[in-house]
Amino acid sequence: MVDRPPIIYLNNAATTWPKPPEVLEAVRQSLALPVFGSGRTTGSQGEDYITLAREALASLLAADPPEHVVFTSNATDSLNILIQGFLAGSEAGCHVLTTELDHNSVLRPLHELAQQGRIRLTVLPFEDGTVHPDTVEAAVTPDTRLMVTAHGSNVLGSVQDVTRIGEILHDHGISFIVDGAQTAGHIPIDLRALPVDAYVFTGHKGLFGIPGTGGFYVRDPEAVLPVRYGGTGTDSFSLFHPREMPERFESWTHNYPGLAALAAGVNYIASVGVEKIAEKAERQVTLLIEELKKEPNITVYNEHPALPIVSFNIRGMENDDVGFILARAYGIVARTGLHCAPLVHRAIDDGIGSVRLSLSWFTTDEECRIAAGAVREIAHHADSSVCSP
């Protein structure tokens, strides 16, 4: 049997691993006892994980009131609900803004609506990893109704100036949805201060939850028409869906194990301190990039990311091949390809994609050094091959 190296997991921008022990224990406990849902079941055999998770998220994100935190399946689900809901009352053909930095979870719903003739869509370019607020203001037209954009890029690790962008949009009466899939849990978020109308999160990334959880915070629920209807366990004599929060947008049986995990993950972050998590990430990503830059045929696409994400390519090699070697020879789990963000890659690497290393709180300095050394070793051999006659 061939000895394999231990796993170094650097694909946390997709799904974090490992999870805190508290998260795993919360899932176990949630499955060990009968499901308890306030208003849906009698008895008190289990925890009210829905409320625990809602209050934990509201505290972490400074989302007020907690009832405006809505749970869904993930960020993609949330974005679809919000995009459809914000536009439901708008005139056909109204104008919507997004950016080249965005993930397909934003781009695809909007392009579908544009193809159907329901909206006119403008996709804004970026420079040095961000979309300048002046670019946003210049793109606004009298019929602009909505802007949807990522808070943090899952390719470049850059963070948008959503404060200034939001101020500009609100001056023009335009609604603003921010996709926080890459920022929640990684950097401090204060939704009391941010001028956003909705902020989207997912459970399985920086919040240390498990797949199948996510949601959004909405500032004014009346501005978003529900697009799903069903059973809530409340006001069941009515044949119309409740308009109260959070039932206005939650028409399903909740993922109780997932919300147990999410509550535990968010409480773990609170116990560590999100500022401390951000500081460690900044130090480690600097270490990693400085090591990669020592090899001249490695191209790092953002040398100063605000998030623990490093995307690069090696001259003369396909990024998929680099990822294969990292996994098989070094036990390093990375991500390769377009990362569901095709317009970013069209701008930075002519659409070939990249290798992405993404860190978490559990990534060690030694793992960063080993990963950087492995990439440099691969790059060195590639350079020798390219240069040899």
The mean pLDDT value for 234-261 works out to: 83
Question: CA-CA distance, 174 to 293, in Å (whole number)?
Answer: 42
Q: What is the pLDDT of residues 318-339, one digit of tens each?
A: 999 999 999 999 999 999 999 9
Percent of the chain with pLDDT over 70: 92
230 band by pLDDT with thresholds 50, 70 and 90: confident
Question: CA-CA distance, 30 to 256, in Å (whole number)?
Answer: 7
Q: Which domains does the chain have, with CATH numbers?
A: 8-18+273-387 (3.90.1150.10), 21-272 (3.40.640.10)
Q: What is the pLDDT of residues 257-315, one digit of tens each?
A: 999 999 999 999 999 999 999 999 999 999 999 999 999 999 999 999 999 999 999 99
The mean pLDDT value for 156-162 works out to: 98
pLDDT at 337: 98
For residue 91, the 8-state DSSP code is P
Q: Would you say residue 233 has pLDDT above 80?
A: no
pLDDT at 389: 38
Closest listed residue to residue 265, CA positions, set 69, 105, 60: 60
Closest listed residue to residue 379, CA positions, set 333, 338, 319: 319
Closest listed residue to residue 156, CA positions, set 320, 308, 350, 342: 308
Give the C-alpha distances (Å, rounded to integers) separating 147 from 64, 129, 176: 22, 18, 5
Q: Packing angle between helix 274-292 and helix 256-272, nearest 10 degrees?
A: 80
**24 phi and psi, to 5 degrees?**
-65, -40
Question: CA-CA distance, 103 to 115, in Å (whole number)?
Answer: 18
2 band by pLDDT with thresholds 50, 70 and 90: very low
3-state secondary structure of 343: helix
Q: Euclidean distance between the first and final Cα of the chain, in Å?
A: 37
Whether the ω angle into residue 125 lies within 30 degrees of 0, i.e. cis, is no
231 Cβ partners below 8 Å, 6+ apart? 251, 252, 253
Better-scored residue on pLDDT, 387 or 3:
3
Q: Would you say residue 44 has pLDDT above 60?
A: no
pLDDT at 366: 97
Buried b (16+ CB within 10 A) or exposed e, 16-29: beebbeebeebbee
Q: Would you say residue 106 has pLDDT above 60?
A: yes
The count of C-alpha atoms lying within 13 angstroms of the C-alpha of 131, restricted to the half-sphere facing its C-beta, is 29
Sheet hosting strand 335-337, strand order edge to edge: 298-300, 309-314, 354-358, 335-337
pLDDT at 47: 81
